[in-house]
């Protein structure tokens, strides 16, 4: 496995491999089973194409807000590289901030529709930072496909829209959310939870799943009724503060006013102390009365 620490090293590595199919997995490191499942998905795709897998590890400063945890974000690089190697990654691009962003940079990729609600409402500028770094990584690594996790569902939708609108020749593949045995979605930020918060945290997934099932079975007549059901059940999490809960069209992320869509997505975010957790579940075709 090659470890490439600069854009120059990456370009030199790519120079003799331009015709090979390539699958990209962008990460910010602090890797866990959720990330390695994306490596496995990329490996399957690359093997089918006769190609290679490239991962990136880069804590992207432009997607963090002024009061967020950029400086504290975990960076266990050696452990991360070991996991990349174990899961069949061919090369890892690990740039420093100064190599990725010029000091006088003045160009940003801006998303103006899908990123205005949900996590975007709580984190202004976050998805512009995501789009900017992902666009740069697409240009630098020249992938045929890239894998993103469904746990960050809004991010997945935004990246799909960017690829569509800017005509990037990259297929976007989705990796299913990986969970602990009690249902909590794996996240690098779970380590910040106290034992008491960790014990309550799975209620986010349980309440989302129960609400989705109620919608699918027709037990909630309207989105408002489903929302009220969610809020009542989530109230059992006494250590949590809900950031948002929304029922949206899975493709457009627009909040639905009635049931009848072929595919819905339920998304929520909640604070347990200072730790913000996100999760989402899909809903099949709704049983309409």
Cα separation, 95 vs 136, in Å, equals 12
Helix axes 126-141, 153-166, angle to 10 degrees: 60
pLDDT in tens, 103-124: 999 999 999 999 999 999 988 9
Asked whether the predicted pLDDT for residue 288 surpasses 70, the reply is no
The confidence score (pLDDT) of residue 100 equals 97
Cα separation, 146 vs 156, in Å, equals 11
Q: Which of the residues are catalytic?
A: 35
Rounded to 5 degrees, what are φ and ψ at 57? -125, 110
Cα separation, 18 vs 14, in Å, equals 6
The confidence score (pLDDT) of residue 219 equals 94
Residue 25, strand partner residues: 55
Cβ-based neighbour number of residue 43 at 10 Å: 20
Q: Is the dihedral of CA 2, 64, 159, 112 positive or negative?
A: negative
Asked whether the predicted pLDDT for residue 289 surpasses 60, the reply is no
pLDDT in tens, 54-98: 999 999 999 998 878 788 888 999 999 999 999 999 999 999 999
Maximal CA-CA distance, the chain: 61
Cα separation, 228 vs 13, in Å, equals 54
Q: How big is the CA angle at 278 (ends 277 and 282), to the nearest 5 degrees?
A: 150
Q: Where are the domain boundaries for CATH 3.30.1300.10 in the chain?
A: 188-282
Q: Which helix (H) or strand (E) holds 14?
A: helix 7-15
Dihedral of CA atoms 12, 86, 169, 125 in degrees, nearest 10, equals -100
Q: What fold characterizes domain 2-175? A: Rossmann fold (3.40.50)
Q: Where are the domain boundaries for CATH 3.40.50.620 in the chain?
A: 2-175
- Give whole-number Cα distances, 53 to 43, 47, 92, 271, in Å: 6, 9, 9, 35
The CATH number that domain 188-282 falls under is 3.30.1300.10
User: Helix (H) and strand (E) counts for the chain?
Assistant: 10, 9
Let me know: does 33 contact 178? Beta carbons within 8 Å.
yes
Among 24, 25, 96, CA closest to 58 = 96
Q: Which band of pLDDT confidence, cut at 50, 70 and 90, is reported for residue 2? A: very high
The confidence score (pLDDT) of residue 281 equals 97
> Model-level pTM?
0.93
pLDDT in tens, 143-185: 999 999 999 999 999 999 999 999 999 999 999 999 999 999 9
pLDDT in tens, 226-283: 999 999 999 999 999 999 999 999 999 999 998 985 689 999 999 999 999 999 999 9
Could you tell me the two tokens for 129?
């930072």
């Amino acid at each position: 496995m090659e470890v490439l620490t600069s854009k120059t090293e990456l370009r030199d590595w790519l120079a003799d491999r331009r015709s090979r199919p390539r699958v990209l997995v962008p990460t910010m490191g602090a890797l866990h089973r959720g990330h390695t499942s994306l490596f496995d998905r990329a490996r399957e795709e690359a093997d089918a194409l006769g190609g290679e897998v490239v991962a990136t590890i880069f804590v992207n400063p432009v997607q963090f807000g002024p009061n967020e945890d950029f400086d504290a974000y975990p960076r266990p690089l050696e452990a991360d590289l070991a996991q990349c190697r174990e899961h069949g990654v061919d090369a890892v691009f690990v740039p420093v901030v100064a190599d990725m962003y010029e000091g006088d940079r003045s160009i940003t990729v801006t998303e103006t529709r899908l990123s205005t609600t949900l996590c975007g409402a709580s984190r202004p500028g976050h998805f512009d930072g995501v789009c900017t770094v992902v666009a740069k990584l697409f240009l630098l690594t020249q992938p045929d496909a890239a894998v993103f996790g469904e746990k960050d569902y809004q991010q997945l939708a935004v990246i799909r829209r960017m690829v569509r609108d800017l005509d990037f020749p990259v297929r976007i593949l989705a990796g299913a959310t990986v969970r602990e045995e009690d249902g909590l979605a794996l996240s690098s930020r779970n380590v910040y939870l106290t034992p008491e918060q960790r014990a309550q945290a799975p209620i986010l997934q349980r309440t989302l799943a129960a609400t989705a099932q109620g919608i699918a079975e027709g037990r909630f007549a309207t989105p408002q009724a489903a929302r009220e059901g969610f809020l009542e059940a989530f109230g059992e999490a006494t250590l949590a503060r809900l950031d948002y809960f929304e029922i949206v069209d899975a493709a457009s992320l627009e909040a639905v006013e009635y049931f009848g869509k072929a595919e819905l997505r339920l998304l929520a975010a909640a604070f347990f102390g200072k730790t913000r957790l996100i999760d989402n579940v899909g809903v099949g075709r709704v049983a309409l009365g």
